[in-house]
């Protein structure tokens, strides 16, 4: 969808300035690109020893267009006793990445498991992680062109997008918004009535 047709995003979930709802189990930080490494280094020093995942979101009409989301976990410091449950600390760090120069610092040296996660985001969203030891495609074939999870990537691929879909693929069995057909509805009612142990309409009771 070209951005010229996009409705205003002020105050919606797409708005990068919008206040996100409090989520009970996680602290959420939105930071600038430049402070990514310093923030994550600090969080790691605070005990977030585990990088659970790195996600990316394409908001297309928004600027910055992408959000890269780091999910961190700090395991409970002391072992939980019999009567209590150790509560881990969960942290989510959001970074906006603009359409032009979609680059971000790599964090493979902080958490080695960021390697494949960053490769996946590079593969599917085209966000380049600077400092990554080997930024190659991981899911698509190595000679693939484009980044398929971008919202402006054609679903059927650039080569096939222009070919028309077969007519049966566009046709639904049921017209949109149509009430259930009389026969079907009657059969359904009968079935329901039978299940309830009652005689359906037009049927004799036992």
Partner 1 sequence: MEMMPGQFMLGKLDDVARWAQASSVWPLTMGLACCAIEMMSVTNATYDIARFGSEVFRASPRQADLMIVSGRVAQKMAPIIKRLYDQMADPKWVISMGACASSGGVFDNYAIVQGVDTVVPVDVYVPGCPPTPDGLLYALNLIQQQIRQGGRGGILAKA
Chain residues binding partner 1 by CB under 8 A are: 139-141, 144, 148, 153-157, 160, 165, 169
Specify which residues 54 forms β-bridges with.
70
Nearer to partner 1 among residue 47 and residue 148 (C-beta): 148
Specify whether the CB–CB gap between 48 and 111 falls below 8 A. no
The DSSP code for 151 is T
Q: φ and ψ at 95, to 5 degrees?
A: -125, 130
Q: How far apart are CA 203 and CA 195, in angstroms?
A: 14
By C-beta, is 82 or 155 nearer to partner 1?
155
Enumerate residues 6+ apart whose C-beta is below 8 A from 43: 72, 91, 93
In angstroms, what is the minimal distance from the CB of 184 to partner 1?
Answer: 23
Q: Provide the minimum distance between the beta carbon of 137 and partner 1 in the complex, in angstroms, as a whole number.
A: 10
Whether the CB-CB separation of 180 and 191 falls below 8 Å is answered with no
The least distance separating partner 1 from the CB of residue 156, rounded to whole angstroms, comes to 6
In terms of DSSP bridges, do strands 103-105 and 128-130 run parallel, antiparallel, or are they unpaired?
parallel
Give least dist CB 92 to partner 1, A: 28
Cβ proximity to partner 1, 90 vs 147, nearer residue: 147
**Least Å from the CB of residue 143 to partner 1:** 10
Whichever of 117 and 124 has its CB closer to partner 1, that residue is: 124
Are 93 and 43 a contacting pair, CB within 8 Å? yes
d(CA 48, CA 51): 8
CA distance 141 to 152: 20
Nearer to partner 1, 20 or 151 (CB): 151
Sheet hosting strand 89-97, strand order edge to edge? 26-31, 89-97, 66-74, 50-58
Minimum distance between the CB of residue 104 and partner 1, rounded to whole angstroms? 25
Minimum CB distance to partner 1 smaller for 82 or for 169:
169
């Amino acid at each position: 969808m070209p951005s010229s047709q996009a409705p205003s995003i002020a105050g919606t979930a797409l708005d990068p300035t919008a206040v996100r709802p409090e989520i009970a189990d996680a602290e959420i930080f939105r930071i600038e690109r430049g402070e990514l490494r310093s923030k994550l280094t600090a969080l790691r020093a605070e005990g977030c020893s585990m990088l659970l995942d790195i996600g990316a979101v394409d908001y297309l009409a928004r600027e910055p267009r992408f959000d890269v989301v780091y999910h961190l976990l700090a395991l409970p410091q002391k072992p939980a006793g019999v009567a209590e449950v150790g509560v881990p600390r969960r942290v989510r760090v959001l970074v906006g990445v603009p359409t032009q120069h979609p680059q971000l610092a790599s964090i493979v040296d902080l958490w080695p498991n960021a390697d494949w996660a960053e490769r996946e985001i590079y593969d599917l969203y085209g966000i380049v992680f600077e400092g990554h030891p080997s930024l190659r495609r991981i899911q698509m074939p190595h000679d693939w062109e484009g980044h398929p999870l971008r919202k402006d990537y054609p679903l059927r691929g650039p080569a096939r997008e222009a070919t028309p879909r077969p007519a049966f693929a566009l046709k639904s069995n049921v017209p949109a918004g149509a009430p259930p057909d009389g026969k079907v509805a009657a059969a359904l009612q009968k079935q329901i009535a039978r299940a309830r142990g009652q005689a359906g309409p037009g049927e004799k009771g036992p």
